[in-house]
Amino acid sequence: MNFATHVDAIARSAPDRLAMTDHTREVTYAELAGETNAFANALESLGVEAGDRVALYLPNSIGFMTAYLGAMKRGAIPFPINMRFQGEEIQYVLEDSGAVAAVTHGQFEDVLAGLDVPSLEHLIVADGEQGHSYRELVGAADTEYDAYPRKEDELAELMYTSGTTGRPKGVKHTHRNLGTNARGLVEAMGWSKDTTTLTVCPLFHVSGLNVSTTPLLTVGAENHFLPEWDPDAALATMAEHDATYAFFIPTMVIDLLERDVSNYDLSSLELIGVGGSPMPKERIETVEETFGVTLLEGYGMTETTPLAAINRPGQDVRKAGSIGPPATEVVDVRIENPETGEAVGTDEKGELLWHGDTVTPGYFRMPEKNEEAFVRREGKRWLRSGDIARMDEDGHLFVEDRIDDMIITGGENVYPREIEDVIYELDGVVEVAVIGTPHDRLGETVTAVVVGDGLSADDVEEHCRGRLTDYKVPRRIEFVEALPKTSTRKIDKVSLRDDF
């Protein structure tokens, strides 16, 4: 089935139920279904065909979702563009995708209008002056539309990676990927029509689009969008709308802890989900006490739509620092030695591999990348994650680090997260990132970059020496005002390595 028709099903059963809000308006499920139908009709009138790619260069908003779902109803392939991309980066993803249409807001229209992309025939702008007017197109279109039929294995959306280590890659998600991801998350989290969520993680990333948005559409839940990260606005929005759930990147949660949470009525908030990067273990208990919630860490990749592993409400055993058991309803997991390809044993470290119905069929028009990313083991096709992890005797997964972030110092392999967790134990540490920096004799030296108050390098080194093997103790400790972040608020270790 066409995934976008989930909205129509809810519109028929509960037309007046609030679907979503942003800073400019709100829509019911009936209104959302009608506007997405109108946009599908508008695209068809412009000559956009099933299978054509439609770019979305939009912040979190109702307009993003109406364009996304409307394009999908038309049978086209919507794909969001990272809002931090500019000029050449946008040109690249538009050309790589072969986009025939792009949707944006007047605030950003000049960015797209100035590009020369041979395939791009239509620029659709909300509240702007160039291209087609979104409001006029939708206002003139019929609000009834028979969604283009799609098979489960046909392409539903493209999600481009952030491109921090090379050109962005278009990750293919099928209608089966989206449906399986949604069912898996709804079942794991116990979401229903009574769930109310905040979505502040960007919709151009799977954390915003396919964690707290597309799954919740399938059960008729209520969603509130913020266009950008603002800790105070996030707290105020959750309080105003009695949010029961919110998903954050760990750095966002750390930002929230810096605010006076007692100023906001968050009594409805039951669960906070975190993912995208490891949550510092020392902060988990603080978050749960501060917000009066259960914090659930999970794991996913753009390439897994993202559901792969998750801690669940009411789980018998939760372990600090664990991403939870694998989501075996939707995926299988394998942990292997990245050099030999041999499976490792319990509590042994190796690379995570994934197989299942949330795993992408591959990268768009990148056969050489697919050759690198997928391997065959025992008759199955497995996705290599690039993450080093271990599974304990209870079946809980612990991500140790990225293979690319591993430091080799004096011939020893060092995983930064172990050191970061130790440094987070120190009072006064707000954030820390451990990286390898060049060293003439050792190859790399362990370097800690710290955001903190009232600490010295000697304090950090002394604390680490009491808890870590000598070669893991940072030889270089730098203090900064803030750590660089990617567009999804993860700590940007690529930039840090460039800086140091």
Confidence of residue 165 (pLDDT cuts 50, 70, 90): low
Is 101:54 a contact under the CB 8 Å cutoff?
A: yes
Dist CA 399 CA 495 (whole Å):
22
Confidence of residue 276 (pLDDT cuts 50, 70, 90): confident
Average pLDDT (376-395) is 96
Average pLDDT (245-256) is 94
Enumerate the H helices of 18-57 as residue ranges. 29-45
Residue 329 lies in a domain: yes
Residue 10: which CATH number?
Answer: 3.40.50.980
Same domain, 317 and 245: yes
Pick from 270, 137, 297, 83: nearest CA to 211: 297
10 Å CB burial of residue 449 (0-12, 13-18, 19+) is buried
pLDDT on residue 320: 86
Residue 493 lies in a domain: yes
Across the chain, mean pLDDT equals 95
Same domain, 416 and 394: no
Residue 175 lies in a domain: no
Same domain, 396 and 411: no
Residues 6+ apart with CB under 8 A from 134: 63, 67, 103, 124, 125, 126, 127
Choosing from 401, 429, 453, the residue where a domain stops is 401
Confidence of residue 500 (pLDDT cuts 50, 70, 90): confident
Residue 81 lies in a domain: yes
Q: Does residue 458 sit in helix, strand or coil? A: helix
pLDDT in tens, 471-499: 899 999 999 999 999 888 889 988 899 88
Same domain, 427 and 323: no
The residue segments making up the domain with residue 431 are 406-499
Average pLDDT (60-65) is 98
Confidence of residue 164 (pLDDT cuts 50, 70, 90): low
10 Å CB burial of residue 210 (0-12, 13-18, 19+) is buried
Same domain, 289 and 330: yes
Residue 379 lies in a domain: no
Confidence of residue 278 (pLDDT cuts 50, 70, 90): confident
Strands, E assignment, 161-286: 170-174, 196-199, 222-225, 245-248, 271-274
Choosing from 110, 125, 150, the residue where a domain stops is 150
Residue 91 lies in a domain: yes
Confidence of residue 211 (pLDDT cuts 50, 70, 90): very high
Residue 445: which CATH number?
Answer: 3.30.300.30
Q: How many domains does the chain have?
A: 3
Same domain, 134 and 28: yes
Choosing from 401, 430, 462, the residue where a domain stops is 401
Residue 294 lies in a domain: yes
Residues 6+ apart with CB under 8 A from 389: 323, 335, 349, 350, 351, 352, 397, 398, 399, 400
What share of the chain has pLDDT > 90, as a percent? 85
pLDDT in tens, 297-341: 999 999 999 999 999 999 989 998 899 999 999 999 999 999 899
Confidence of residue 178 (pLDDT cuts 50, 70, 90): very high
Same domain, 422 and 289: no
Same domain, 251 and 120: no
Residue 296: which CATH number?
Answer: 3.40.50.12780
Query: Taking the mean position of all CA atoms in its chain, how far away is CA 154?
Result: 22
154: pLDDT strictly greater than 90: yes
Same domain, 95 and 77: yes
Residue 158 lies in a domain: no
pLDDT on residue 77: 98
In our burial notation (b when 16+ CB lie closer than 10 A, e otherwise), range 295-325 reads bbbbbbbbbbbbbbbbbbeeeeebbebbbbb
pLDDT in tens, 36-46: 999 999 999 99
Pick from 404, 209, 380: nearest CA to 300: 209
For β-strands 350-356 and 155-160, DSSP reports them as: unpaired
Same domain, 239 and 126: no
Same domain, 419 and 487: yes
Same domain, 466 and 353: no
